[in-house]
Amino acid sequence: MDRCPLPPEPFLGLGALEWRAPDGRSRVLTPRRARAAVNRLLVRFEEVATRDAAAALVNGTLWVDAARLPDPGPGQSYAFALVGMRVVDTSGHELGRVADVVFNVGQPLLQLEGGGKLLPCQPPFVRNVDQAAGVITLELPAGFDEL
CATH number of residue 98's parent domain: 2.30.30.240
| Residue 142 shares a structural domain with residue 85 | yes
Q: 75 versus 18: which is more confidently predicted? A: 18
Using DSSP, state whether 39 is helix, strand or coil: coil
- Say if CB 66 and CB 27 are below 8 A apart: no
pLDDT tens-digit readout, 97-147? 999 999 877 788 999 998 778 999 988 999 999 989 999 999 998 877 666
Handedness of CA 134, 84, 141, 92 (dihedral sign): negative
Q: Please report, to the nearest 10 degrees, the dihedral formed by the alpha carbons of residues 22, 28, 32, 33 taken in order.
A: 20
* Structure-model confidence comparison of residues 3 and 47, the more confident one: 47
Query: How many folded domains does the chain comprise?
Result: 2
| Nearest Cα residue to 34 out of 57, 4, 65 | 4
Q: Is the domain of 106 the same as that of 141?
A: yes
Indicate whether 84 and 137 sit together in one domain.
yes
Amino acid symbol at 82: L
Structural domain boundaries enclosing 24: 8-68
Alpha-carbon distance of 129 to 126, in angstroms, equals 8
User: What pLDDT was estimated at residue 73?
Assistant: 84
Q: How large is the average pLDDT for residues 7-25?
A: 94
Tell me if residue 88 falls in helix, strand or coil. strand
Q: What is the pairing mode between strands 135-138 and 126-130? A: antiparallel
Do both 58 and 106 map to the same domain?
Answer: no
Considering the domain architecture, whether residues 55 and 112 belong to the same structural domain is answered as no
Are residues 91 and 123 part of one domain? yes
Work out the mean pLDDT of the chain and round it to a whole number.
Answer: 90
Distance between CA atoms of residues 137 and 92, nearest Å: 8
93/77 Cα distance (integer angstroms)? 23
Length of the chain equals: 147
Q: Which pLDDT score, from 0 to 100, does residue 33 have?
A: 95
In the structure, what pLDDT confidence band is assigned to residue 93 with cuts at 50, 70 and 90?
very high
What pLDDT is attached to residue 84?
Answer: 96
Q: 45, 68, 91: which is the final residue of a domain? A: 68
